[in-house]
Amino acid sequence: MKKTDRIVRLLSSDIEKKDILEVACGSADFSVAAASLANSVSCIDLDDSRLNPMVAQSNVCFQIMDASQMEYQDHSFDTIVMYNAYYHIQTQWKEIEKECRRVLRNRGCIYIIGTWKLDTSIMLDIFGDKAFWLDDFLIVKEFVE
């Protein structure tokens, strides 16, 4: 089973029948995997050069968009995911987190997920005890009241 299918299954309670946004999606493999369970999946990145062609065949809506200045309305999503992307957005995290909180609905959540050493080491440095392992995925989960 693909890693992205495994993590979608592990997080299914926050994905099934929910409106999902993947930020800094790159290939958007996570979004493609989530599409079978979610109500809707949107994903954004600064460019589409690595986008998985499966995105076009699934019900995933990809847009080129800066995560620190999202075009979505307030309270648009239930769950936001960053998959193997924290290292690349770390310097903008404050602005991106603020935007994530704005576009999330009440009682929504943000998942930062890392499997690559590049991401997991910086996540452990920045988030410390807030980061936990679930199988071979390092996860930080933030709640929005």
Ligand X SMILES: C[S@@+](CC[C@H](N)C(=O)[O-])C[C@H]1O[C@@H](n2cnc3c(N)ncnc32)[C@H](O)[C@@H]1O
Residues near ligand X (CB under 6 A) are: 24-27, 29, 44-47, 50, 66-68, 83-85, 88-89, 92
What is the closest distance, in whole angstroms, from the C-beta atom of residue 24 to ligand X in the complex?
3
DSSP per residue, 115-140: -SHHHHHHHHHHHGGGEEEETTEEEE
Closer residue to ligand X (CB): 24 or 80:
24
Q: Which residue is nearest to ligand X (CB)?
A: 26
DSSP per residue, 6-52: HHHHHTGGGTTT-EEEEES-TT-HHHHHHTTTSSEEEEEES--TT--
Backbone angles phi, psi at 108, to 5 degrees: -80, 180
What is the closest distance, in whole angstroms, from the C-beta atom of residue 82 to ligand X in the complex?
7
Closer residue to ligand X (CB): 100 or 129:
100
Closer residue to ligand X (CB): 27 or 120:
27
What is the closest distance, in whole angstroms, from the C-beta atom of residue 52 to ligand X in the complex?
8
Give Cα separations from 116 to 6, 76, 87, 106, 122 (angstroms): 15, 29, 10, 31, 10
Closer residue to ligand X (CB): 55 or 109:
55
Q: CA 35: distance to chain centroid?
A: 13
What is the closest distance, in whole angstroms, from the C-beta atom of residue 112 to ligand X in the complex?
11
